[in-house]
Amino acid sequence: MQNITYIFSSPRKERYFRNLVEAKEFYYGLFSFNSNQYKIDIIEFNNSNSSNVPKSILKLFDKIMTKIFSLPFYTSRIVNKENYNILKKTDYLYLINENVGCSVLPMLFFLRKRKE
């Protein structure tokens, strides 16, 4: 069974798994996959305002990268051990928008370097 992971920036995970979806087009093809053939994982941004040291470092990284590239980076909301383990097992990854793509890029880079 292949693993498919979607990364969303807004709260869609709970709606999907509880069948409370009103507009399927905002899930970017997620409903076209048969759950008997694929294992579906959804990762979302974490909006907690915790102030531990690693989060503070990641927030500083976000500010610097946003200034340099003028692109939205929110790595402090996505980088954690649980998401890292999900991405390690993923066969197909769907990044929904530029916020998600920029935010998960450092973690994907680190995963690739670990595989080499």
Indicate the domain borders of the chain: 2-48+77-115
Q: Give the model confidence (pLDDT) of 50-103 as tens digits.
A: 666 688 899 999 999 999 999 999 999 999 889 999 999 999 999 999 999 999
Nearest partner of 27 among 16, 43, 40, 41, judged by Cα: 16
pTM reported for the whole predicted model: 0.84
Residue 90 contacts residue 76 (beta carbons within 8 Å): no
Residue 76 contacts residue 59 (beta carbons within 8 Å): yes
Please state, in angstroms and rounded to a whole number, the distance separating the CA atoms of residues 50 and 64: 20
